[in-house]
Structure 1
Amino acid sequence: MAASYSRALCKVGCRILDSPAVHRTGTVSYLLGNAGACGSRRAYGTGGAGFRSKLLSSVRGTGRGGRVLGCAFLLGGGLGLYQTVRFRVQQHLAEEQSKVQAGGLKLTLYQYKTCPFCSKVRAFLDYHGLPYEIVEVNPVMRQEIKWSAYRKVPILMVDGDVQLNDSSVIISSLKTYLISKEKSVSQILSCYPEVKSKNDSGKEVTEYFNKYWVMLSEAETAVLYPEKGMQKEEMKWRQWADDWLVHLISPNVYRTTGEALASFDYIVREGKFGTYEGFFAKYVGAAAMFIISKRLKNRHNLQDDVRQDLYKAVNDWVAAIGKKRKFMGGDKPNLADLAVFGVLRVMEGLQAFDDMMANTKVKFWYRRMEKATMNKEGKN
């Protein structure tokens, strides 16, 4: 639209300058009418008929006035075209820079804002400075992922055609790609075969082989894990985050009816809900999750005071890092750091998070992780 207005102004200026002085009044009147037709009345009609008559009278007075007017139209049109082209070039360069920063990939994350597995993926992407678009999925209707046979989140689409499922597969695949550029993401994905099985309840579940492995050459592995045992330690704690830490979140954030309501108030506020759907989700969902959290407590053999299990878990994590390291990865976070941080982060703003920070030793590590992620310290 801006470009068409600019071209119209240039056209007006050229016609004025090309016209003999005696004809400029008619020329200006005709072209102003055409310009008004191609744009909105608000854009070209400001000042009404009085404004138009003043332009015409300036042309009648002298041929020099017409030339000045023509030059003004040309200058205005030229500046408009320059700004339009400049904006489009900057936009294109920004898009290209984003793709370079993302290792040449266009990433789209389908998520629930409050899902700990989605938060793990965001922590990884943010830390490594990988630009990505977010599609917030309605957790009730899930229309945003109706195209996918895999009906869970997170889902990461790469360049619009490669689909990565499961948070740990997403992270391992992208880490492999960022270090080793010899294979495409689709080729790397073949290293994590999908296997369907049935759990203890008889429900079919999808699992992925090798999902905690970063698929590198021997030389690349030595650079990423310079000390003996670092790789196994990272894999062990990544799996711990998935198999244990995640299961402590719901029983803690829905521990009481008050905490359940506060949690669902946050979920509705951050999620993709309509007005009535949000009201229903908040009160019915809170009541349902309060009951479900009690079942989860029994299923995972948690203590009556589930906070104690949360405290013990994060203190075990801090003890595993030790006093000589800033992170489990040493001076920089590794994939286990990012996984644990991503899981714990979903409790921010809730009573369970405040209690955890006040009653455990996790605070200093957590603040370092916040800073590292916010500053995209893994970008290089």
Structure 2
Amino acid sequence: MRRSFVCRSSPAFSTATAGSCKASSAPPPLTLLQYSICPFCNKIKSVLDFLKVSYEVKEVNPLSKKELKELSDILPLDEKKGKPYMKVPVVLVGTEKALVDSSRILAELLSVSPGGSGPGAVIPSPPGFYEEEDKEWERWVDQKLSVLLFPNITRSFSESFQAFSYVNKVPSFSFWDKMGSQWLGATAMWMAQGKLKKKYQIEDERGALMEALGTVTKALGGEGKSGGVGFIKKGESPSFADIAVYSSLRSIEGLETHKDVMEFGDGSLKEWYEKVAKAVGHR
């Protein structure tokens, strides 16, 4: 999937050179290596889309990880394993720099004041977009909400199989890549569900997820307000906090768990979700 940088206005890259608009084959400044159902990858995509930053997406084969192995020369070392980092998301800046870990990627790319431009520069964001409160929400999403998604989408083999159906839409995967990834990936996820629940001391994964959603709706203030439900920080537009929560939930769109999420509570969560989706404007 290509989101071309060519001849497209972007607040983050406002000083693009004339040469960058000459040919549609010009490489984009940022490339995201991802799994489509990864909440951390979706966080990066949603932030970049909201800020109208051009980037390219490259799907990683979840079994072979060949797309990551091809970058072993520039990927940072995983100190625990003594080998190149082999997890998504990875963001390439040009062809020489690889950023890893979603929180670190965004912390390095984002700037709270205008001024960055061009490949490798920080991305300017609106005032108040990425403050300490937003970072606290990001930590909660990364450590709580996103962790709860895995055991919820792998409660049965059929749900795991559904979760891995995204591989069938990846044009760069061969028929055997798709078959192997869906069947073996779904089996591995399903079998790992109990281990993950034990690791994070999760007894009732659905109940824990609903409780987490309650934390979000409480922050939103629910319905009954003039103009409907607002955003987490009560601003006129979404902040990073909204996008962090939204993108985690968006990663499971189309799955049974997502349907239950959208039916949660008094409808304020769904209303908020749709408002954030519209503001992000995925491309």
**Same fold per superposition (TM over 0.5):** yes
* Alignment CA distance shift 1:100-1:242 (3 Å): closer
The 5-angstrom pairing of residues 337-376 of structure 1 reads: 337-360=242-265, 361-374=268-281
* Alignment CA distance shift 1:184-1:340 (3 Å): same
Q: Deviations over 1:271-318 (max 9, x none)?
A: 8532223223222322221121121112111133x1111111112012
* Alignment CA distance shift 1:267-1:318 (3 Å): farther
Rounded to whole Å, the distance in 1 between the matches of 2:208 and 2:164 is 22
Structure 2 counterpart of 1:56: none
The alpha-carbon deviation at position 239 of structure 1 amounts to 0.5
* Alignment CA distance shift 1:103-1:301 (3 Å): farther
Partner of residue 87 from structure 2, selected from 121, 137, 152? 152
* Alignment CA distance shift 1:243-1:104 (3 Å): farther
Structure 1 counterpart of 2:216: 317
Residue 328 (structure 1) aligned with residue 225 (structure 2)? no
Q: Deviations over 1:313-361 (max 9, x none)?
A: 1120121232466112321111111111111101110100001111334
Rounded to whole Å, the distance in 2 between the matches of 1:245 and 1:272 is 31
The 5-angstrom pairing of residues 119-158 of structure 1 reads: 119-145=42-68, 146-148=70-72, 149=75, 150-158=85-93
Of 315-324 and 130-139, deviating more is 315-324
Partner of residue 298 from structure 1, selected from 180, 184, 198? 198
Rounded to whole Å, the distance in 1 between the matches of 2:92 and 2:278 is 27
TM-score for the superposition, normalised by structure 1: 0.58
Rounded to whole Å, the distance in 2 between the matches of 1:264 and 1:96 is 35
* Alignment CA distance shift 1:309-1:373 (3 Å): same
Partner of residue 286 from structure 1, selected from 153, 166, 186? 186
The alpha-carbon deviation at position 270 of structure 1 amounts to 4.4
Which amino acid in structure 2 is aligned with residue 365 of structure 1?
A: W
Q: Deviations over 1:140-181 (max 9, x none)?
A: 2222222233322222222333332221222223321x7242
Q: Is the 8 A contact 1:113 1:270 kept in 2?
A: no
Which amino acid in structure 1 is aligned with residue 269 of structure 2?
A: V
* Alignment CA distance shift 1:170-1:118 (3 Å): same
Q: Is the 8 A contact 2:41 2:88 kept in 1?
A: yes
Q: Is the 8 A contact 1:321 1:327 kept in 2?
A: yes
Rounded to whole Å, the distance in 2 between the matches of 1:348 and 1:368 is 16
Structure 1 counterpart of 2:133: 233
Please tell me whether Structure 1 or Structure 2 has the larger radius of gyration of its CA atoms.
1
Rounded to whole Å, the distance in 2 between the matches of 1:184 and 1:280 is 39
The alpha-carbon deviation at position 368 of structure 1 amounts to 0.6
More helix by share: 1
Partner of residue 102 from structure 2, selected from 135, 142, 167? 167
Question: How much identity, in percent, do the aligned residues show?
Answer: 31
Residue 95 (structure 1) aligned with residue 9 (structure 2)? no
* Alignment CA distance shift 1:314-1:103 (3 Å): farther
* Alignment CA distance shift 1:103-1:299 (3 Å): farther
* Alignment CA distance shift 1:187-1:345 (3 Å): closer
For these two proteins, the number of residue pairs brought into alignment is: 247
TM-score for the superposition, normalised by structure 2: 0.76
The alpha-carbon deviation at position 138 of structure 1 amounts to 1.6
Residue 307 (structure 1) aligned with residue 206 (structure 2)? yes
Which amino acid in structure 2 is aligned with residue 338 of structure 1?
A: I
Unpaired segments ≥5 residues, structure 1: 1-93, 189-213
* Alignment CA distance shift 1:130-1:275 (3 Å): same
Q: Which structure is higher in RCO with an 8 Å CA cutoff and minimum separation 6?
A: 2
Q: Counterpart of 2:37 in 1: which secondary structure? A: coil
Rounded to whole Å, the distance in 2 between the matches of 1:104 and 1:241 is 34
The alpha-carbon deviation at position 248 of structure 1 amounts to 0.8
Structure 2 counterpart of 1:14: none
Rounded to whole Å, the distance in 1 between the matches of 2:187 and 2:275 is 36
Which amino acid in structure 2 is aligned with residue 346 of structure 1?
A: S
Q: Is the 8 A contact 1:333 1:369 kept in 2?
A: yes
Q: Counterpart of 1:359 in 2: which secondary structure? A: coil
Partner of residue 110 from structure 1, selected from 28, 33, 38? 33
Rounded to whole Å, the distance in 2 between the matches of 1:159 and 1:137 is 18
Residue 260 (structure 1) aligned with residue 160 (structure 2)? yes
The alpha-carbon deviation at position 120 of structure 1 amounts to 0.5
Of 288-297 and 163-172, deviating more is 163-172
Unpaired segments ≥5 residues, structure 2: 17-28, 76-84
Q: Deviations over 1:126-151 (max 9, x none)?
A: 11111111122222222222223332
Rounded to whole Å, the distance in 1 between the matches of 2:102 and 2:13 is 18
